[in-house]
A and B are shown apart, each in its own frame.
Chain A
Amino acid sequence: MMKKFRYMEAAAILLVWGASMAATHAETGGKMIISREVDATKTIPINLSGYTGEVLSTLKFDLEVVGFSMAGPEQADYLVVGSNASRVEARVSNRFSKAEILAKAYSGASLRAQAHALADDIVEKIRQVPGIAQTKIAFKLESGGTSEICIADYDGFNVIKITNDRSLVAAPAWSPGRKKLYYTSYRLGNPDIYAHVLATGERQAIAKYTGLNTSAAVSPDGRRVAMILSKGGSPDIYLSNPDGSGLRQLTSTREDESSPCWSPDGQTLCFASRQTGRASLYTMPAAGGAMKRLRTENVASVTEPDWSPDGKNIAFTTTTGGFHICTVPAQGGVAEVLVPGEYPSWSPNSRTLILSRRNGNRYVLSLLDVPTKKVKDIGQISGNASQPDWAK
């Protein structure tokens, strides 16, 4: 279904380009209007009417996160008219062409879940990217000196504690398909890496060598895990099978490496290393080979890379002058400094970043809409939330 829709939209856009280079919201009718919204950096004014309470607030949050702004019916480009009496219903139209682009009713689960589903449909119709409103995140939640691994909806609702060890945890990482979570726990008095099956709650230490075992990152095909181990005498990158077997050392520098991440094709790893005395990003073939420095012009002291699922960009944190989230083209180049924050993780659609930032005396999770540079905090989690990882 989705694929077919995409092709139709693509065809519609081509038609518009052929017919009129201006490609405005003029009377081109129906689907062709959509070409106007292809510019991802534009904020799109939208009007919601007929919704109340949780459904209204959920819809607002979901749409604002991806670059929509709430507007009056006379200012909005799109009008969403509906209700949430017993189920969520919606008719979405373009205010200029009057064309109806979506008419749908939702059932099952909760009203909140139905609102998320509607938001995703609106985003897909208008922004032409898959929505993120029904995605999941994992993160570290610190409170009173101990920390636990949690998962939640992407907006911070429905938090579930995955661990209850009253120890320290770190670096949660989803396995593709959301079935398994990898994380670091100090429950045995040493930082070790665990693989945790979410459906059963069973977990298994996949790396518990003497020294540091941390920063697991599962390959996009789910068949390899990259990690940091210090058993050789220095923190280096290693690869293993999902259960920890078949361990292979990838880097052997005297300086420390940290935070490996995968290119979406599974061919390349990106990580931070202090090989030159200061933290920089490097890439390396996952099959082994030479470390290659990734240029991040304009910023220094960079860590925590995360490769976008579309392969185009690498997000990371610079620690010069406080923590800031940056992006750089995956092949290296000029880095763009976006907002204060750390530990960026890409949404599955490569548009949004989730990050952690200090807000007063607390660490909160925030969502950054990269094209519009707008940030929204996830407000309803108590404690210090950090190290978010967006499920893919």
Chain B
Amino acid sequence: MKRSSLVNLLVLGLALAVGGFGCKHRPKGPTPIPGQKTAVAGPGTEGRATPPIGGGLDKDNRPDSEDLKPGQGGTPLPSDRGYFEGRPTDGKIFEAYTVYFDYDRHNVKPDQVAKVQAVADFFKSAPAGDDLVIEGHCDERGTDEYNRALGERRALAVREMLTQMGLAAGRIRTISYGKDKPVAEGHSEDAWSKNRRGQFLLLLPKDK
């Protein structure tokens, strides 16, 4: 995670270029610039838009954590876990779209929403067999099991936002690691801020 924002831009640029050439293969990354509704140059056959099934957006018509109404129990996870298992994953494709959280919070901050939107947009034209894993992580300042629950709550908050953006809830699973998998060592805010994160993994179909 030491990748600089400059490198991120390069990755984005490359992805856009690839998309622009109408590559017939799987898109190499979520091509839209975060926040912009640029169409993804998908494989051209199986792109599908999923109608929103979440709670819907509030007046501002912009998905943000305000749309997650307190008191709701949350969006249940798919009961058939076997559907997600034994499939290859690609963590690189969404590397630049990791969502970061404030200390001890699980709401998706307004400045992080564009990354979630880009992932949602990517799936609107991704092959039907592609699904998503969201990993939830925490910094070292909470206790082990508290963090395991908080990391899950973070992943679920991102998942709910994605469903409100139109991604089917049945395509997303969550895995919390609490503070067991930090990306940055050290005991300062610099390291902590990098570790409080929601990471996306593309889940590929079994036969590919």
Which A residues lie at the B interface, using CB under 8 A?
A: 147, 168, 170-171, 186, 188-191, 208-212, 214-215, 228, 230-235, 252-259, 272, 274, 278-279, 301, 303-304, 317, 319, 323, 342-343, 386-387
Contact = CB atoms under 8 A, between A and B. Distances in A.
B145 A215 contact: yes
A235 B73 contact: no
Given A210-B84, A254-B71, A230 B145 contact: no
Contact of A233 (B73, B81, B106, B142): B73
Nearest to A278: B104
B54 to A, nearest CB: 11
B73 A234 contact: yes
A212 B176 contact: yes
Given A191-B148, A209-B79, A387-B145, 13 more contacts: A147-B180, A212-B148, A212-B152, A230-B152, A230-B156, A230-B174, A232-B76, A233-B75, A234-B156, A254-B71, A256-B106, A304-B143, A343-B144
Nearest to B136: A212
Nearest to A257: B149
Interface in B66-122: 70-81, 84-85, 104, 106
Contacts of B72: 254
B173 interface: yes
B197 interface: no
Nearest to B73: A252
Contacts of B75: 233
Contact of B146 (A168, A209, A230, A272): A272
Contacts of A188: 85
B85 A256 contact: no
A342 B144 CA distance: 9
Contacts of B177: 168, 186
Contact of A231 (B77, B144, B160, B175): B77
A303 B148 contact: no
Contact of A256 (B71, B153, B173): B153
A212 B149 contact: yes
B87 to A, nearest CB: 10
B15 interface: no
B150 interface: yes
Contacts of B85: 188-189
Given A209-B81, A214-B148, A303 B143 contact: yes
A191 B176 contact: yes
B49 to A, nearest CB: 24
Given A189-B85, A189-B175, A235-B153, A387 B79 contact: no
Contacts of A319: 141-143, 146
Contact of B143 (A168, A228, A323): A323
Given A170-B148, A191-B148, A191-B175, A231 B143 contact: no
B71 A211 contact: no
Contacts of A231: 76-77, 79
A186 to B, nearest CB: 8
A168 B180 contact: yes
Contacts of B145: 170-171, 214-215, 228, 258-259, 303-304, 387
A319 B146 CA distance: 11
A211 B152 contact: yes
Query: Quick one: which of B79, B145, B150, B177 has the most chain A CB within 10 A?
Result: B145
A171 B144 contact: yes
A191 B177 CA distance: 8
20 contacts: A190-B175, A208-B81, A210-B84, A210-B174, A211-B173, A211-B174, A215-B145, A230-B156, A230-B174, A233-B73, A234-B156, A254-B71, A254-B73, A254-B74, A255-B153, A256-B153, A257-B149, A259-B143, A303-B142, A304-B144
Contact of A232 (B74, B81, B148, B160): B74
A254 B73 CA distance: 5
A228 B79 contact: no
B146 A303 contact: yes
Ranked nearest first, the 7 interchain pairs of A and B with the lowest CB-CB distance are A233-B74, A256-B149, A234-B74, A210-B77, A258-B149, A235-B149, A303-B146
A208 B81 CA distance: 8
Interface string B150-190: 10110010001000000000000111111010000000000
Contacts of A343: 143-144
Contacts of B73: 232-234, 252-254
Contacts of A234: 73-74, 153, 156
Contacts of A168: 177, 180
A234 B141 CA distance: 21
A214 B176 CA distance: 10
Q: Which of A212, A232, A272, A301 has the most CB of B within 10 A?
A: A212
A282 to B, nearest CB: 13
Given A210-B79, A210-B173, A232-B76, A342 B143 contact: yes
Contacts of B79: 209-210, 231
A208 B76 CA distance: 15
B160 to A, nearest CB: 8
A279 to B, nearest CB: 6
A63 B168 CA distance: 61
B78 A210 contact: yes
Contacts of B174: 210-212, 230
Nearest to A168: B180
Interface string B31-70: 0000000000000000000000000000000000000001
Contacts of A259: 143, 145-146
